[in-house]
Chain A
Amino acid sequence: MRTVLVTMPFMGLDRPSIQLGLLKAIGEEHGFAVRTLHANLDFAARIGADYYRTLADRRGPPVGDWLFSVAAFGAQAPDPDGRLLDEFAGELSFLAGTWPEARDRLLRTREHDVPALLDSLVDSQMWDDVRVVGFSCTFQQNTASFALARRLKQRYPHLVTVFGGANFDGEMGLELVRSVESIDLAVTGEADASFPRLLRALATGADPATVPGVSRRAGDRLVSAAPEPPDGDLDDLPAPDYSEYFERAERLNLLPRAAHREVWLPFESARGCWWGAKHHCTFCGLNGTAMRFRAKSPQRVLDEMAILARRYGSFRFEAVDNILDMRYLKELFPAIADSASDYQIFYEAKANLTRAQLRVLARGGVTHLQPGLESLSSNVLRLMDKGVRAAQNVNLLRWARYYGIDVAWSILWGFPGETAEDYAEQTAAASHLIHLQPPEDSGRIWLERFSPLYTEPERFGLLRCEPECSYRYVYPGEVDLDRIAYFFDYEVDGALPESTYEPLRRALAAWTDAWRSGPQPALTYWSVPGFLRIHDGRYPERAGTYTFEGPLADIYLACTDRPATAAAVRDRLRLGQPVGFVEEVFDEFQRRGLMFRDDKLAVALALPAVAGR
């Protein structure tokens, strides 16, 4: 019994699917013949890689799902005339060219490229001996997957279609099985254990819906077995198999052989979120039904990276984990540093990392970090239950720059309870931070299923919450959008007007301009105990050097490694002056943009001029 696992548009095209790679390896471990099909690459080759990336990488109206809606639902598709394009023209302005050109191209893509892709996939010889087709769906992959499943079932009625992935978590999966005809079975939750059990059931003729987490339609009702809580040891999982991705990408001229080393290989060292298990960030909808944190052993991670590097010739690794296992700071990254492996690694982490921890990460190969900073206001961070202060966020940006770690981060707004002052403070601070990496993006939070904002609307004063309006241009009327939506439109009691955020938006744009145009701004210091020189080169027209001696130098240096209070600085330095004096010094450093103040905390903004410490 052969199985093909498919990833459809609009999965990103620059890296293989870990979902497919892992399930293929698991299936084969259990004795099943499993192939993968990165059909997203075929579409990228057809419409052009740059255009594909533009459609795939952008959050906003679900244009990707809209493009495949007609092919997925036929006459039941709700928007054959393209009304979505007119309704959301403003939000689609990122597409190249004039709006009429962009609109025509989207319609051409839907009417010509989508059917051509599906024809070519269905006409290929690969399905003749296939019994099971599995689709992995995350974000905008639903309708493309439904469309191919529909075509395949028309041509090969014996095929069994199985769906899974984040889009099938919780009630979303149940409703999709109920309402979408091309879905035979869905796996809800983690599939490491249920996938091989499902294949076994299909091979032996048993009812697949007796496998935990599997659902199927039976007439007008659903038959399903509740998913088991995830409890397996992640060390027992095999390394993912990405062979087909590299072969296919090369064959489609999307990835020359010489560029294999530039691919960021997805790897998984942990699941769940140890912070979210204790304090669920109010806006976060990740880990919907599997928050409990589990991690592979450091040795297992080392072994897997070595296997993948040798197998695919790339030394770049992208952890798909949602949060860094702090144990790795002592047991994984020092081992990577000791092994002299030339890895470049991406990780997501909690933002309260210290200078010493960032140094460990950098020496252990972490070149890219997504620390979930989200704000430079401690009040807003408190409202989102982030468990970190603004001063810690700024300190992370400082030491990440010093150790050469690229930081991907955003500033979010729109949290119930926030004040205009929270944004005025961030606006004022931004002009002093231009020597640090700016946020990639900023904007209002999205209301996501599974987030506390969604699950506890009364606690947060949500006045209205309904499926994001663009869904109705994608799914037919019989699909209950309340049950399948992941993003929701909402109104919050006491929300600030949009104009509140405009000054911050402008300040962030100026910060980004300063960072990207010409030499990066610098604020650096040289010191010995009791003597400090700070060169401020952030603004060329005001560039110069401060020279401090005695207590002023010591106070500044006491706030360079981590944020500190005036009382703590006075005690540590055994100053004779009162705390108020230290506060006044903090104020003056802040006034000159040399320190960031966060209530009682202060953190120096300058970085050591000498690298590598």
Chain B
Amino acid sequence: MDSVPVSRDDIDALAQALDAGTLPATELLRSLVAAIREVSGDEESVTVNVEVVGSLQETFDAAFTPDPSPGGPASGTQVHVTVHKIGR
């Protein structure tokens, strides 16, 4: 897992660059910007943790123990980005 401090200015700059159309993978980056902004709110800076986690479906499958016999298909992994506020 990687932890990256990100300031509001960084996010605003990233958003402007996206609007200018100079960056690739715009859908991915817009999604990241939106997620970080949703969580950061009025905070000046946040820490973005990037981690590889199992999908929810995989987590639920793993959480289940059948009474008579094991089973249940697993699905692929996904990259899950979590954003934590920095405490003051």
Chain B residue nearest to A541 (CB atoms) is B68
Q: Is B39 an interface residue (CB 8 A)?
A: yes
Q: Is B26 an interface residue (CB 8 A)?
A: no
Q: Is B3 an interface residue (CB 8 A)?
A: no
CB <8 Å contact, A576 and B85? yes
Other-chain residue from A545, A576, A584 in contact with B65 (beta carbon distance below 8 A): A545
Q: Is A517 an interface residue (CB 8 A)?
A: no
Chain A residue nearest to B62 (CB atoms) is A547
CB <8 Å contact, A578 and B60? no
CB <8 Å contact, A546 and B64? yes
CA distance A578 to B37 in the complex (A): 10
Other-chain residue from A542, A548, A585, A588 in contact with B66 (beta carbon distance below 8 A): A542
Chain B residues with CB under 8 A of A263: none
CA distance A548 to B61 in the complex (A): 11
Nearest-neighbour CB distance to chain B for A166, whole angstroms, equals 53
Q: Is A552 an interface residue (CB 8 A)?
A: yes
Chain B residues with CB under 8 A of A584: 56
CB <8 Å contact, B60 and A588? yes
CA distance A537 to B67 in the complex (A): 9
Q: Is A543 an interface residue (CB 8 A)?
A: yes
Chain A residue nearest to B49 (CB atoms) is A576
Other-chain residue from B63, B64, B82 in contact with A577 (beta carbon distance below 8 A): B82
Q: Is B42 an interface residue (CB 8 A)?
A: no
CB <8 Å contact, B65 and A544? yes
Chain B residues with CB under 8 A of A588: 56-57, 60
Q: Is A592 an interface residue (CB 8 A)?
A: yes
Contact with A along B32-72 (1 / 0, CB 8 A): 00010011000000000000000011011001111110000
Contact with A along B10-42 (1 / 0, CB 8 A): 000000000000000000000000010011000
Contact A546 to B39, CB < 8 A, known contacts A576-B85, A577-B82: no
Chain B residue nearest to A585 (CB atoms) is B56
Other-chain residue from A537, A541, A545, A552 in contact with B64 (beta carbon distance below 8 A): A545
How many chain-B residues does the 8 Å CB contact rule pick out? 17
Contact A578 to B35, CB < 8 A, known contacts A546-B60, A547-B65: yes
Chain B residues with CB under 8 A of A576: 39, 82-85
Chain B residues with CB under 8 A of A537: 67
CA distance A543 to B64 in the complex (A): 10
CA distance A537 to B68 in the complex (A): 11
Other-chain residue from B39, B59, B65, B68 in contact with A552 (beta carbon distance below 8 A): B59
Chain B residue nearest to A547 (CB atoms) is B63
Chain B residues with CB under 8 A of A547: 63, 65
CA distance A584 to B63 in the complex (A): 16
| Interface residue SS majority, chain A | mixed
Chain A residue nearest to B85 (CB atoms) is A576
Chain B residues with CB under 8 A of A542: 66
Nearest-neighbour CB distance to chain B for A195, whole angstroms, equals 64
Chain A residues with CB under 8 A of B60: 546, 588, 592
Chain A residues with CB under 8 A of B39: 576, 578
Nearest-neighbour CB distance to chain B for A400, whole angstroms, equals 27
Nearest-neighbour CB distance to chain A for B32, whole angstroms, equals 12
CB <8 Å contact, B65 and A578? no
CA distance A587 to B56 in the complex (A): 10
CB <8 Å contact, B67 and A544? yes
CA distance A585 to B59 in the complex (A): 10
CB <8 Å contact, A544 and B59? no
CB <8 Å contact, A548 and B67? no
Nearest-neighbour CB distance to chain A for B22, whole angstroms, equals 27
Chain B residues with CB under 8 A of A541: 68
Contact A543 to B38, CB < 8 A, known contacts A576-B82, A588-B57: no
Chain A residue nearest to B60 (CB atoms) is A588
CB <8 Å contact, B82 and A546? no
Residue of B38, B64, B82, B83 ringed by the most chain A CB atoms within 10 A: B64
CA distance A546 to B65 in the complex (A): 6
CB <8 Å contact, A543 and B68? yes
Chain A residues with CB under 8 A of B56: 584-585, 587-588
Chain A residue nearest to B67 (CB atoms) is A543
CA distance A124 to B63 in the complex (A): 75
Chain A residues with CB under 8 A of B85: 576
Chain A residues with CB under 8 A of B83: 576, 578
Nearest-neighbour CB distance to chain A for B48, whole angstroms, equals 12
CA distance A145 to B41 in the complex (A): 74
Chain B residues with CB under 8 A of A543: 66-68
CB <8 Å contact, A548 and B57? no
CA distance A579 to B68 in the complex (A): 36
Residue of B39, B57, B60, B66 ringed by the most chain A CB atoms within 10 A: B60
Nearest-neighbour CB distance to chain B for A599, whole angstroms, equals 20
Interface of A with B (CB < 8 Å)? 537, 541-548, 552, 576-579, 584-585, 587-588, 592
Residue pairs across A and B with Cβ atoms less than 8 A apart, 5 shown, are: A544-B64, A544-B67, A546-B60, A576-B39, A587-B56
Q: Which 9 A-B pairs have the closest CB atoms?
A: A544-B66, A543-B67, A588-B56, A546-B63, A544-B67, A545-B65, A576-B84, A546-B64, A588-B60
Given A579-B38, A588-B56, A588-B57, 13 more A-B residue pairs with CB atoms under 8 Å apart are: A537-B67, A543-B67, A543-B68, A545-B64, A546-B63, A547-B63, A547-B65, A576-B82, A578-B35, A584-B56, A585-B56, A587-B56, A592-B60
